[in-house]
Structures are given as C-alpha cells and as structure tokens.
Amino acid sequence: MSGTFSSINTALSAIRYNQVALDLASNNIANANTDGYVRRRLVAGSVGGPTTPAMWSKYDGHGDGVRVVASQRMVDVLLDGRVRREHGTLSYLQTTQTVLKRLDDAIAEPSDNGVAAALQEFRSSWHDLANNPGGDAARQQVLGRAATLVQAIHSQLSNVTGEEADQRVHMLSLVSDVSSAAGDLAALNQTILSSKANGNDVADLEDQRDQLALRLSELAGAVTTVRPDGMYDVTVGGQSLVSGNTASSLTIASGITATGDSDGTPLTLAVTGPSGTTPVTGLGGEVGAVSDLLTTVLPGYRAGLDAVAKDLADTVNAQHAAGYDASGAAGGDFFSYDPADPAASLAVAITDTSKIAAASVAGTVDGNNADALSQTGNVESAYQRLVNSFGVEVSTLNSRTTNQQALAGSVDESREQQAGVNLDEETVNLMTAQRAYQAAARVMSTIDEVLDTLINRTGLVGR
C-alpha cells in the first residue's frame, strides 16, 4: 500500500517533466533557424519500484511518476563525417572555380581584341608590307601591330600574375584561419570533457564544436575522428592538427613571405605543434585549392603563355635575320625577350622603321622576306591549344562543381532530416506537454478533493 501523498508526488513529477518538455520545445522552436543547431529530444522514463527485491518489505505501488532520462542531441556521427567530407570537396572545387572563372572571362577568346586577333593583325601587317615594301606607312604598321600583340600577351599574363598575387594573400589568411579554428576546437574539447564530467548540459558547446570541425573541413579538407572520451581529433593531409586538448597550427614553410609576396620557391605547408614542425601535403578544401592553383594551374598557364611568346619571338627573329633592312644590312632581332621569363619580358626590339628586314635581296625594295614573315611559324595553333586546354579545365570544373553541389546538398538534406527542427512537430510536442501538464494539475486537484473528502467530510456522523 503506497502512502497517501504519493499520488501528489506522481502528479508533481509529471508537472516537472512536462515543464522541461515545454522548455525543450520552445528552445527547439527558438533555434529553428540557427546554423549548426541540432534539435534536442526529451527522453522520458517512468519511475517504478525498486529493482532490487527487499527481504522484509515489498513494493506495492503502481509506478511513481516520470523522470527526465536525457535530453538527446539528435546527431548521427557517421552522417556528420560524410557532411564534412563532401563539404571539403565542394569548397575545394568552388574555390578553384571562382578563380579560374575570373581568368576564363579575362582570356576573352574568341573575340576581336584578344591575343588571337592581335596575332592575325600582326600577320596581316607583314602581308601589307610585302605588298608595299618601300612604304614607311606599311613599316610603321608592322611595328604598331607588333606592339599591340606584345601588349595583348602582357595583359593576359598580368591577369595570371595578378591572380597569383591575390591567392598568395588569400593563402596567408586561410592558414591563420585554420590555426585559430584548430585552437578553438582544442579548447572546446577540454571544456566539453570537464563540463560533461560535472554533469552540465554541453549540447550547445557540441553544436559549436561540430561547426568548427565542418569549418576545418571546408578550409583544409580536415578529417575528424571521435575519441572514446568524446574529444575530437583532427588531421589535415594525414598530419595531426588537433589531438584532444592540444592544437597545432598550419604554417607556410616556403613560397610566400609574410607580406604575401613570392619568395621564389615552390609553396609548401607544414604543421607546427608541440612536437615540432612536420611538412604536410595533399590538403583539401580552400587551402588545397589555393595551393594547387599556386603550384600547378596558374604557373601552368603562365608557362603556356611563355612558350607562345618564345615561339613567336624565335620564329619571327629567325626569319627576320634572313632578310635585309632598308639600308641593305641583314635584319637584326625583331623581338627581344629574357629566356628566363619570355612572356613578361617580350618586347619589340626595333624602333626605327627602316630596320625592318622586308627584303630578301640586299639593297632592294623586295618584299619577299616580309611575305615569308607573314607565313612563318604556327604560334596560333600553340595559343589555340593553350586556350582550349584551359577552357576544357574550366568547363570540367564547372560540371564537377555542379555535381558536387548536388551531392553535398543531398547529404545536407539527410543531416537536416535528422537534426533539423520541424515547427509542426515542435508545436505538437508543445501541445502534448501542455495537455499532460493540465492533466497532471487535474490529478493534483483530484487528490486534493479526495483528501478534502477524507479529512473534512468523514467522522461527521451524529454531529
């Protein structure tokens, strides 16, 4: 037989439980649009009799109410890992795409103003000179068109070098972002561990930590693993960045100076931690994208332009040297360049129109060397190949990004299914808790009335 007041306690436990349920639902609703918020679910447990049988007494109650077992944070660790991975790949692709798109627009082919058009006009000017080898106007036109061509190559090159300079500065800020995120994550690891031990609710801290882990994946393609004690370990490129409560920092080992200039060596990265500095490669995310751009993609295009400039200068110079200028002297170099840096240093070596070697017979107004110059080399096709391979790269990247976006979107959706707040659901929870609260209050007043009957209305016989 349970005590008289135990039913009041049962009702009280229900009121308390439903109070918590109301709090939780309202917190979920409040955070319905908070980034990184994972919905909580209240787990109830009924309070029953003692689990261990006693020798001299037995439990004769019918349940002693309800209690809060846990406030569950609805995460799926595997899904979170998947989200991080796909977002790391997506941010790699998007970063690369953004940069290459700018370059793609700047190349501006096919058009009437690009390098290809300048090459055609340069060739035409040799034809015109061949038609009129004695005319100063035709000679002036050759020099003018050559200058235009050099300028077109320079402006395309400066787009690439400008992009490289931008990305070096970008890299500096990325590296410090990674390091500070790693530091924050390690600190959170420690806070969560000790708060949990103290029995505090750490759900909000865990939300923050998950967001940091995602940010690290987007920044550097970091891989996060969960330790048995609940702390997160993070690695980048196979090197440990966060281990429990100790964080290392990502640093630039070579390639970029502190002011964002190139130091002439290839870009390399390293992880600097308590145990020293270890070189690291194969990063993903934004850092990986910028590093690939700086070490392969942009220098590759620059090398292509260099080859075009060198080919142009060499073939034109060779044919030019075979002819004779207006004074009958053999032709000198038409273009000048520094072999170490052909595209940037390409310039027209001739300023005097009479130095153009149009004639193939000395001391005449022959135009056959100018004609040969109009036919020499095949720079166009080298340039077309360069533009084509760049275009293929960008268009492949575009479709890969679109695919990856769809993939990341679907993974995000799965995560949202699990962790997102559904307002209808929370409204239902709210109503359920409200009704249960009302019923528990009703139980209380019922018991109260019962007791009232028992205390005030009994034993009145004969009064």
Partner 1 sequence: MTIGRVTQRMLAQNSLGSVQSGLGRLAKVQEQLTTGRVLNRPSDSPTATTAAMRIRSERAAQEQYARNAQDGLGWLTQIDSTLGSVTDTVRRAREVGLQGNNTGSVGQVARDALATEVDGLRADLVSQANSTYLDRPVFGGITSGSKAYDDAGNFVGVVGNVNRRVGDGVVVKVDVDGNTVFGDGATSVFAELDGLSAALRSGNTTAIGASLDALAARLDTVTSARTAVGATQNRVERAAQSATDAKAALDGDLSNVENADLAATTVELQLAEVSYQASLAATSRVLQPSLVDFLR
Least gap, CB of 121 to partner 1 (angstroms): 8
The residue (of 227 and 435) whose beta carbon lies closer to partner 1 is 435
Q: Using CB under 8 A, count the residues that bind partner 1.
A: 64
Single out the residue of 301, 324, 390, 437 in contact with partner 1 (rule: CB under 8 A). 390
Least gap, CB of 221 to partner 1 (angstroms): 24
The residue (of 277 and 427) whose beta carbon lies closer to partner 1 is 427
Does the protein bind partner 1 through residue 366 (CB under 8 A)? yes
Q: How far is residue 269's CA from residue 289's CA, in Å, rounded to a whole number? A: 13
The piece of 146-154, 171-179, 380-388, 448-456 that touches partner 1 (CB under 8 A) is 380-388
Does the protein bind partner 1 through residue 301 (CB under 8 A)? no
Does the protein bind partner 1 through residue 306 (CB under 8 A)? no
Does the protein bind partner 1 through residue 388 (CB under 8 A)? yes
The strand pair at 249-254 and 276-280 is best described as unpaired
Q: How far is residue 330's CA from residue 318's CA, in Å, rounded to a whole number? A: 11
By CB atoms closer than 10 A (0-12, 13-18, 19+), residue 289 is buried
* Residues 391-430 contacting partner 1, CB under 8 A: 391-392, 394-395, 398, 409-410, 412-413, 416-418, 420-425, 427-428
Cα torsion 157, 159, 164, 170 to 10°: value is: 180
The piece of 61-69, 78-86, 234-242, 373-381 that touches partner 1 (CB under 8 A) is 373-381
The H or E element spanning position 315 is helix 298-321
Does the protein bind partner 1 through residue 361 (CB under 8 A)? yes
By CB atoms closer than 10 A (0-12, 13-18, 19+), residue 191 is middle
The strand pair at 276-280 and 268-273 is best described as antiparallel
Measuring CA to CA, which residue among 291, 297, 232 is closest to residue 266? 291
Q: How far is residue 364's CA from residue 379's CA, in Å, rounded to a whole number? A: 29
Single out the residue of 80, 128, 163, 184 in contact with partner 1 (rule: CB under 8 A). 128
Single out the residue of 131, 194, 265, 277 in contact with partner 1 (rule: CB under 8 A). 131
The piece of 76-84, 267-275, 291-299, 356-364 that touches partner 1 (CB under 8 A) is 356-364
Least gap, CB of 375 to partner 1 (angstroms): 8
Q: How far is residue 50's CA from residue 189's CA, in Å, rounded to a whole number? A: 37
Single out the residue of 19, 71, 132, 268 in contact with partner 1 (rule: CB under 8 A). 132
Q: What percent helix, strand, coil does the chain show, rounded to 5?
A: 60, 10, 25
Q: Which amino acid is at 312?
A: L
Map 85-153 to HEC letters.
HHHHHHHHHHHHHHHHHHHHHHHCCCCCCCHHHHHHHHHHHHHHHHHCCCCHHHHHHHHHHHHHHHHHH
* Residues 431-460 contacting partner 1, CB under 8 A: 431
Binding mask 14-33 for partner 1 (x = CB under 8 A): ------------------xx
Least gap, CB of 325 to partner 1 (angstroms): 12
Least gap, CB of 305 to partner 1 (angstroms): 14
Q: What are phi and psi of 393, to 5 degrees?
A: -60, -45
Which letter does DSSP use for residue 387 in this model? H
Does the protein bind partner 1 through residue 119 (CB under 8 A)? yes
Q: Are 309 and 153 in contact (CB under 8 A)?
A: yes
Cα torsion 216, 221, 227, 229 to 10°: value is: 10
Binding mask 78-117 for partner 1 (x = CB under 8 A): ----------------------xx--xx-xxxx-----xx
Least gap, CB of 426 to partner 1 (angstroms): 9
Does the protein bind partner 1 through residue 251 (CB under 8 A)? no
Interface residues with partner 1 (CB under 8 A) are 32-33, 100-101, 104-105, 107-110, 116-117, 119-121, 123-124, 127-128, 130-132, 134-135, 359, 361, 363-368, 371, 374-375, 380, 383-385, 387-392, 394-395, 398, 409-410, 412-413, 416-418, 420-425, 427-428, 431
